[in-house]
Amino acid sequence: MAVVFSYGLILAISIFIGFVFTIIGLFLGHIILFDSIFLAAIRYGMCTQQSAS
């Protein structure tokens, strides 16, 4: 149960950080750069949670 909770927590945090980067990208005009950072954060969270299980 704790594994599922930690996986969901990491995913929620990375999605929140991604939204922040997307908003910054919209204002700065470099949305592709910040979207790629967002996707990298989600992939990192998913890979570290899968290897820890």
One pLDDT digit (tens) per residue for the chain, 53 residues? 777 788 788 778 877 877 887 787 778 777 777 677 777 777 776 777 655 55
Helices (H) and strands (E) in the chain, counts: 2, 0
Q: What is the pLDDT of residue 52?
A: 53
Task: Give this prediction's pTM.
Answer: 0.55
Q: What is the pLDDT of residue 36?
A: 77
Helix axes 2-28, 31-52, angle to 10 degrees: 170
Rounded distance between C-alpha atoms, residue 42 and residue 22, angstroms? 13
Q: What is the pLDDT of residue 38?
A: 75
- For the chain, give every domain's residue range: 2-52
Give yes or no for a contact between 49 and 7, defined as CB atoms under 8 angstroms apart: yes
Q: What is the pLDDT of residue 26?
A: 78
Rounded distance between C-alpha atoms, residue 53 and residue 18, angstroms? 24
